[in-house]
Amino acid sequence: MKKTMLTILGLGLALQASADGTGRADSHAPIGVMGDHTHKQGEWMVSYRHMAMSMSGNLQGGDSIRDADIVATPNRFAPPPVLRIVPQEMESSMDMLGMMYAPSDRVTLMLMLNYLRKDMRLTTYEGMMGTTVRGHFETQTEGLGDTSVGALISLMHRPEHRLHLNAVVSVPTGALDEEGQVLPPMSMGSDMDMGSDMGMDSDMGMGEMPSAPMMMTMRLPYSMQLGSGTWDVQPGLTYSGNSAHWSWGAQYLAVVRLGENDEGYTLGDKQTLTGWGQYLFHPAVSASLRIEARSQGAIDGMDDQIQGPVQTANPDYYGGDWVDAALGVNLLGQHGGLAGHRLAFEYSLPVLQDVNGIQMEMDAMWTLGYQYAF
């Protein structure tokens, strides 16, 4: 993070020194906003974003919950009667490669490809109940996420006020069958048959007792999968405006899932409302403050292969309401080889988290992005 900030500062000084007034750094929204602007006829833009999020600890509704209370919570997939595996930390990242092209002044086409990486660390508690720790383990997934294609349709374009329609479809290119090694609360030789009750595979005989904790292969929970498995419509509306040294904007986006995926479930529909303001220090440099509120429903249905004594296996324990606050900076090259090259950074912290059931708590998220129009 320190190296990232130093790089941004150094490039910002270079861009400021070279500015000749050919563009505004705040002509785009903060980098955490997608589909925020349209282009002129014949113009292309390529973009790259790296987004990273960290989570630690757990919430029940809007309050923190201890491991000791989680492992006393009823398990939907009993036996065992209570949860026995507790997520501790999660780190996820997304690399987004985008392309935009405007066949006319009114319509801008867009394509977005996503590559995801997820890493979760968990603690397994021994036996059918109690707070004796059996061990710790990690699960990881990595691969192509869902792909977004669509159009931004200009409804109003004036020098100081702009409004456009977001019409995007998400194509289900992300995998739904990712597996990992999991440490169960009891061995296969115990009274509880983990192989049948958790959907696990093992080469170990039912009568054998392992000399050390035995890792089992199972399909990972919904939060570790890479896609929705459904075609999703993503309608929205985006407004932006500007004055001499200020710019502002607001965007509403929805995600509406179409049907049920091949594994028997549908992720919850989602709504996001965000608003931002930016101050232009110099044509090459602007700073932003953004507030984002989002709401998402629980999962409808379930994957029969995702079962076990862990909160992330319960489809009712997904969705909720969140409000985040983000600070950002936009840098725009103004002259020579840097002209038109844009670098942006945004750092986001949660203001409110009110989740369905028991879920992990978000710590922070940051986005670093590059954009170039030609």
Sign of CA dihedral 239, 112, 138, 306: positive
pLDDT for 212 equals 55
Q: Is the model's pLDDT at 146 over the cut of 70?
A: yes
DSSP labels, 312-336: GG-GGG--EEEEEEEEEEEEE--SG
Q: List, in sequence order, every residue forming a beta bridge with 369; answer none if it has no partner.
A: 49, 344
Task: Report residue 1's pLDDT band, with 50, 70 and 90 as the boundaries.
Answer: low
**Contact predicate 198/216, CB 8 Å:** yes
Rounded to whole angstroms, the Cα distance separating 319 from 81 reads 24
Q: What is the domain count for the chain?
A: 1
pLDDT for 214 equals 86
Task: Report residue 22's pLDDT band, with 50, 70 and 90 as the boundaries.
Answer: low
pLDDT tens, position by position, 303-322: 999 999 999 999 999 999 99
CA angle centred on 371, ends 91 and 171, rounded to 5°: 60
pLDDT tens, position by position, 246-302: 999 999 999 999 999 999 999 999 999 999 999 999 999 999 999 999 999 999 999
> Which residues lie closer than 8 Å to 245 by C-beta, 6 or more apart?
279, 280
Asked, for residue 339, whether it belongs to a domain, the answer is: yes
pLDDT for 2 equals 52
Asked, for residue 348, whether it belongs to a domain, the answer is: yes
Q: Is the model's pLDDT at 15 over the cut of 80?
A: no
Q: List, in sequence order, every residue forming a beta bridge with 338; answer none if it has no partner.
A: none
Query: H or E stretch including 373?
Result: strand 358-373
Q: Is the model's pLDDT at 333 over the cut of 80?
A: yes
Using alpha carbons, list the distances in angstroms from residue 263 to 67, 220, 230, 303, 371.
Answer: 30, 13, 10, 5, 37
Asked, for residue 344, whether it belongs to a domain, the answer is: yes
Asked, for residue 201, whether it belongs to a domain, the answer is: no
Rounded to whole angstroms, the Cα distance separating 371 from 249 reads 19
Q: Is the model's pLDDT at 122 over the cut of 80?
A: yes
Q: Token match 């409804």: residue?
A: 155
Task: Report residue 187's pLDDT band, with 50, 70 and 90 as the boundaries.
Answer: confident
pLDDT tens, position by position, 39-74: 999 999 999 999 999 999 999 999 999 999 999 999
Q: List, in sequence order, every residue forming a beta bridge with 372; answer none if it has no partner.
A: 46, 341
Asked, for residue 209, whether it belongs to a domain, the answer is: no
pTM recorded for the entire structure = 0.87
Which comes out higher in pLDDT, residue 205 or 155? Answer: 155
The mean pLDDT of 85-98, rounded to a whole number, is 98
pLDDT for 209 equals 42
- Domain of residue 111, CATH code: 2.40.160.40
Asked, for residue 300, whether it belongs to a domain, the answer is: yes
pLDDT for 20 equals 39
Residue 316 lies in domain: 2-117+144-174+221-373
Average per-residue pLDDT for the chain: 90
The mean pLDDT of 221-237, rounded to a whole number, is 98
**Contact predicate 102/42, CB 8 Å:** yes
pLDDT for 95 equals 98
**Contact predicate 87/70, CB 8 Å:** no
| Least confident piece of the model among 146-150, 192-196, 216-220 | 192-196
Asked, for residue 240, whether it belongs to a domain, the answer is: yes
pLDDT for 109 equals 98
Using alpha carbons, list the distances in angstroms from residue 31 to 50, 116, 214, 221, 228.
Answer: 10, 18, 44, 30, 24
Q: What percent of the residues of the chain are helix, what percent strand, and what percent coil, each to the nearest 5? A: 10, 55, 35
Task: Report residue 196's pLDDT band, with 50, 70 and 90 as the boundaries.
Answer: very low
Retrieve residue 163's tokens.
């409004």
Rounded to whole angstroms, the Cα distance separating 151 from 339 reads 26
Minimal CA–CA distance to 345: which of 314, 363, 366? Answer: 366
Q: Is the model's pLDDT at 195 over the cut of 80?
A: no
3-state secondary structure of 15: helix
Minimal CA–CA distance to 96: which of 39, 31, 153? Answer: 31
Query: H or E stretch including 11?
Result: helix 2-18
Minimal CA–CA distance to 306: which of 197, 221, 201? Answer: 221
Asked, for residue 129, whether it belongs to a domain, the answer is: no
Q: Is the model's pLDDT at 235 over the cut of 50?
A: yes
Task: Report residue 23's pLDDT band, with 50, 70 and 90 as the boundaries.
Answer: confident
Rounded to whole angstroms, the Cα distance separating 177 from 173 reads 12
pLDDT for 192 equals 44
